[in-house]
Structure 1
Amino acid sequence: MASLCNYIVVNDGSFSLNPGERKTFSDPIPSNLIIGTNRAKPILAFKASATPSGGAFQIEINDTFIYGPSKSGGDIRGLWEAFPGTVLNPGINNTVQFRATENSIWFADIILWFQVDM
């Protein structure tokens, strides 16, 4: 069966979080989502920057931890994380949550990429 890459712009702006703060987004995932194989995993892409002293954050999708790096400070970086397609729920709203765990973190331009059946 043929498939194609699709995406959702989760956030086309920027926001900052202080330690302990979180921001949650909710977006529908198409019902024809390919749940996932080793070659058809969703990808969450975004930009991030920490304070000059660095910082750390965590990302959860549908209450499942998918990414939690420590980041050196100063530069804006493009980041992405591939994760199992079974984390997403096709045909309904899904949540993406960003949480700062150490120092302030700035995020921007969050895109969720995934494959769908044609």
Structure 2
Amino acid sequence: MENTTHTAAGPQPRSRKRTTADYLGLTALALFVLLSGLVVGGLGPLLAIACDTCQDGVRGPLRFYDALTAVDRVGVPLVTLGTVAGLFHPRGGARAGGIGLGLLAVLFCAMLALGQLTA
């Protein structure tokens, strides 16, 4: 029997239950998001302040050091954990994983940009 309850927006689609393969795929994506969050949080600030031509290998006094550390210590963990939580939400899924990975890439680029600006 098909669910054809009429509402103001029209008939409601029947929701499909997730299978074991769906959960395995989401688990693999969640592990990839966690690994990406670790890489962005660990290597992002180091690459942002690295300098090949500087004497000690570290860029001079940073103008936006506080913003760089805030993105690293608050932004990256929130995006990573929010993405993992969104993956297993009933209405989430792979779309949440894609958005989260995109946001991690944006945060990585923001950290690199903040590290390039010196006082």
> Comparing both structures, which one devotes a greater share of its residues to helix?
2
Q: So what's the TM-score if we normalise by structure 1? A: 0.28
Bigger radius of gyration: 2
> Comparing both structures, which one devotes a greater share of its residues to strand?
1
Q: So what's the TM-score if we normalise by structure 2? A: 0.28
Which protein has greater RCO, CA pairs closer than 8 Å, 6+ apart? 1
